């Protein structure tokens, strides 16, 4: 019997997003049967069965989920569309689509749930969000907890820092902020180059989701895990980016003033500015239980992962020039 026949099917809601794409590739590589759900098959992945539908439709999602044992909720609204209950409503539709089936829902968490004064983020750390966006994320996790307590589903939350990785076309904080002007010889970093920040290399994060999915029977009905990822200073990032570029680069401050001005007319920029406290207050994700599950040597060397991320963006900037 083949490896794929021995493993269950996973449905990835939001196939076209950062996590959706990375997770689909990781689960396929691990021998899983993968179904991807999105409005369109914008970035096809070999081996993924695609189902078209909208996350606004419970019947669409229910049909895509079918008899699958496990679902990854990779749906995510734009930053400026989370308010007025829209983020909670979207998750509510996912929970309705799952029903009272006892299926396992994988859910990507983030650090918005915590206060700026928190330094070591453990899975059991009390959550006192710094911003309205953080309060939304807390409420969403409370929805998952309530569903698990009712016995409707099993929920596994995997929390991580800022995403980065190859193939995202610069559509993340790493590409949009740090490397925005790399073609002009500039790298945007926090003014204190020795201040660390939590990053999650998407291929590694996706493999962590696979590891948890394969061990899901070992966990409580509602389980939280924190993915340490790479806790890197601006100086460490700058050195690797310079190595890839092949020449020195100028470190410039993150453009918070410019983004604030843009936020007067652009809601998305206004919401991004509200994350500034995350760059000025180092938050390390800590989880010995997850480290034991993943095992020693898990994860890509940060220098290698930064090179893989920077090289295509640098090439694109040179072609554009």
| The pLDDT value given to residue 177 | 86
pLDDT, position 3: 42
Query: What is the model's pTM?
Result: 0.94
Q: Where are the domains of the chain?
A: 3-162+199-230, 168-197+232-282+300-320
Nearest to 270 by CA among 133, 92, 96, 165: 133
Residue pLDDT, tens place only, 117-148: 999 999 999 999 999 999 999 999 999 999 99
pLDDT above 70 for 5: no
pLDDT higher than 80, residue 12: yes
pLDDT at 2: 42
* pLDDT tens per residue, range 283-308: 999 999 999 999 999 999 999 999 99
> Three-state SS for 275?
coil
In this predicted structure, what is the pLDDT of residue 314?
80
Rounded Cα–Cα distance for residues 202 and 26 (Å): 10
Question: pLDDT band at residue 170, thresholds of 50, 70 and 90?
Answer: low
**How large is the average pLDDT for residues 208-236?**
97
242-267 mean pLDDT: 92
CA distance 287 to 28: 26
Q: Which two tokens stand for residue 182?
A: 């790399």
For domain 3-162+199-230, give the CATH number. Answer: 3.40.50.720
Q: How confident is the model at residue 318 (pLDDT cuts 50, 70, 90)?
A: low
Model confidence band, residue 222 (pLDDT cutoffs 50, 70, 90): very high
| Residue 127 vs residues 65, 114, 119, 146: alpha-carbon distances, Å | 31, 5, 12, 16
Report the chain's mean pLDDT, rounded to a whole number.
93
- Please tell me the least confidently modeled range out of 59-68, 150-159, 163-172: 163-172
């Amino acid at each position: 019997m083949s490896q794929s026949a021995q493993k269950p099917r996973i449905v990835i809601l939001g196939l076209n997003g950062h996590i959706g794409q990375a997770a689909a590739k990781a689960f396929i590589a691990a021998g899983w049967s993968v179904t991807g759900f999105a409005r369109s098959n914008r970035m096809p992945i070999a081996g993924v069965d695609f189902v078209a539908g909208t996350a606004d439709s419970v019947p669409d999602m229910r049909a895509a989920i079918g008899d699958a044992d496990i679902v990854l909720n990779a749906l995510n609204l734009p930053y400026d569309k989370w308010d007025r209950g829209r983020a909670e409503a979207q998750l509510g539709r996912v929970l309705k689509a799952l029903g009272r089936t006892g299926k396992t829902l994988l859910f990507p968490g983030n650090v918005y749930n915590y206060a700026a004064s928190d330094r070591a983020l453990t899975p059991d750390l009390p959550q006192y969000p710094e911003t309205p966006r953080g309060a939304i994320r807390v409420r969403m996790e409370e929805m998952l907890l309530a569903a698990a307590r009712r016995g409707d589903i099993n929920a596994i939350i995997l929390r991580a820092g800022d995403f980065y990785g190859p193939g995202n076309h610069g559509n993340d904080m790493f590409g949009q902020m740090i490397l925005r002007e790399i073609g002009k010889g500039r790298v945007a970093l926090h003014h204190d180059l020795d201040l660390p920040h939590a990053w999650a290399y998407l291929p590694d994060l996706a493999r962590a989701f696979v590891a948890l999915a394969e061990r899901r029977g070992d966990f409580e009905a509602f389980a939280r895990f924190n993915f340490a990822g790479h806790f890197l200073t601006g100086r460490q990032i700058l050195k690797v980016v310079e190595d890839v570029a092949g020449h020195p680069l100028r470190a410039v401050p993150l453009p918070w003033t410019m983004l604030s001005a843009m936020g007067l007319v652009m809601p998305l920029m206004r919401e991004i500015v509200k994350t500034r406290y995350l760059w000025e207050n180092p938050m390390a994700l800590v989880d010995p239980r997850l480290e034991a599950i993943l095992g020693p040597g898990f994860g890509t060397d940060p220098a290698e992962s930064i090179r893989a991320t920077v090289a295509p963006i640098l090439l694109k900037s040179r072609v554009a020039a």
